[in-house]
């Protein structure tokens, strides 16, 4: 199990950096938030609605609200 007992709130306009060792669940967390994978337990919410309730044809509209940057260490001072 890559992730266990995650509770995370990201408000509109906030930025979040997720860093960690290989295999620590960073990609899994992103896939859950981006609705590319479903949780085995619990829920992921967007605007107080579980994202698994979003119709598949509406997922592109949901995903437009999420921005990601991956492996851009040269742009970010860590």
pLDDT tens readout for residues 10-69:
888 888 888 888 888 888 999 999 999 988 888 999 888 899 899 999 999 999 988 887
Q: Which pLDDT score is estimated for 70?
A: 74
Q: Which of 8, 50, 46, 49 is nearest to 25 (CA)?
A: 8
Instruction: Please tell me the distance from the alpha carbon of residue 12 to that of residue 33, in angstroms, as a whole number.
Output: 14
Higher pLDDT, 3 or 36: 36
Can you give the pTM of this predicted structure?
A: 0.77
């Amino acid at each position: 199990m890559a992730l266990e007992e995650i509770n995370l709130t990201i408000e509109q306009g906030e930025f979040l950096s997720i860093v960690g060792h290989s295999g620590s669940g960073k990609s899994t967390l992103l896939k859950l938030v981006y609705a590319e994978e479903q949780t085995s337990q619990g829920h992921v919410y967007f605007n107080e609605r579980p994202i698994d309730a979003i119709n598949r044809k509406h997922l592109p509209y949901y995903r437009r609200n999420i921005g990601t940057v991956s492996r851009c260490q040269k742009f970010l001072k860590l």
